[in-house]
Amino acid sequence: RKEVEQDPGPFNVPEGATVAFNCTYSNSASQSFFWYRQDCRKEPKLLMSVYSSGNEDGRFTAQLNRASQYISLLIRDSKLSDSATYLCAVNPRESSGDKLTFGTGTRLAVRP
């Protein structure tokens, strides 16, 4: 089983739709979780950290489910500009320091 797994998509949604992505991780001792956004031929950019209590930033909501070992990202009222690949990242072990393991990414395409 991969350390971090994501559905590659693509998710094709109309503008205004709500879309959710999940990301599963295999190591139950994982400490930190993040969502990054990567545009085509660009570097990943931090979208948000994922906290145990869940967190929200505008149209974006991230949640952590430790029991089932997954994190989720919910995007409400999708915009055309949300089209990108969304990468989840997990710090798998406390001893690994700041090392992150990335999923392969989920591609989102928002259509007019």
Partner 1 sequence: GAVVSQHPSRVICKSGTSVKIECRSLDFQATTMFWYRQFPKKSLMLMATSNEGSKATYEQGVEKDKFLINHASLTLSTLTVTSAHPEDSSFYICSASGERVQETQYFGPGTRLLVL
Q: State the residues that interact with partner 1 by CB under 8 A.
A: 31-32, 34, 41-46, 49, 87, 89, 91, 97-105
Of residues 17 and 100, the one with the C-beta less far from partner 1 = 100
Question: How is residue 90 written in tokens?
Answer: 């997990």
Those residues with Cβ within 8 angstroms of residue 49's Cβ, 6 or more apart along the chain or in another chain? 32, 33, 34, 55, 62
* Least separation in angstroms between CB 18 and partner 1: 25
Cβ closer to partner 1: 5 or 74?
A: 5
The full DSSP string for 23-35 is: EEES-TT--EEEE
Closest distance to partner 1 from the beta carbon of 90 (Å): 11
